[in-house]
């Protein structure tokens, strides 16, 4: 699929076009952010937000410009906004008692290991899922094991629906790559 066609289809809300654009430009946007902030997790979060915002506003894209430039501009603006928010936040201090209490909270959620039932294919799939970063594991778990809707996942994670969709697209792509390597 060529870029202009993908953009046109994405403007018509075609999911495959969104997936194509995400796969085509992910490395460019992620690499741009990684150079700026030198933190892989933050760069990934900003990249997810970039695609979420871009896909949400794709109809405003002016085809006289390059799509990559448009994405990088969105990404840069998100980063600037985050810096501004951080500067305006009051700094909270955490006491030793608070920190110790936080470590004593039990996580009663069933882990993927608890779900290793009898099926061997499920066990292999869960092992592959464990190779993903925790936030990708979480969205896959919520969507496919707990069978929550995008809206429910969005509320549970306190993130916009488009962020959830982009994370799921990315998680599925990474999981497919892990499975194909075997």
Q: What is the pLDDT of residue 30?
A: 95
∠ Cα 91 97 100 (to 5°): 100
| pTM for the model | 0.63
Q: Look up tokens 């009663």; give the residue.
A: 108
What fold characterizes domain 3-88? Rna Polymerase Sigma Factor; Chain: A (1.10.1740)
Return mean pLDDT, the chain: 84
| Mean pLDDT confidence for 162-172 | 89
**109-181: which CATH architecture?**
Orthogonal Bundle (1.10)
Report helix, strand and coil shares of the chain as percent, to nearest 5: 75, 0, 25
Distance in angstroms (rounded) separating the CA atoms of residues 71 and 69? 5
All CATH 1.10.1740.10 domain ranges of the chain, comma separated, are 3-88
């Amino acid at each position: 699929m060529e870029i202009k066609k993908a953009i046109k289809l994405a403007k018509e809300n075609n999911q495959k076009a969104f997936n194509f654009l995400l796969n085509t430009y992910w490395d460019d946007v992620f690499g741009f952010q990684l150079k700026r902030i030198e933190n892989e997790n933050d760069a990934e979060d900003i990249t997810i937000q970039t695609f979420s915002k871009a896909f949400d506003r794709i109809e405003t894209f002016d085809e006289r410009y390059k799509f990559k430039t448009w994405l990088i501009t969105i990404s840069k603006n998100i980063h600037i906004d985050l810096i501004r928010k951080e500067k305006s936040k009051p700094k909270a201090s955490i006491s030793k008692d608070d920190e110790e209490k936080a470590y004593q909270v039990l996580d009663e959620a069933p882990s993927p290991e608890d779900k290793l039932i009898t099926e061997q294919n499920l066990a292999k799939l869960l092992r592959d899922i464990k190779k993903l970063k925790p936030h990708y594991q979480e969205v896959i778990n919520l969507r496919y094991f707990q069978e929550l809707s995008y809206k429910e996942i969005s509320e549970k994670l306190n993130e916009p629906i488009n962020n959830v969709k982009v994370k799921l697209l990315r998680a599925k792509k990474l999981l497919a790559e892990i499975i194909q390597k075997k």
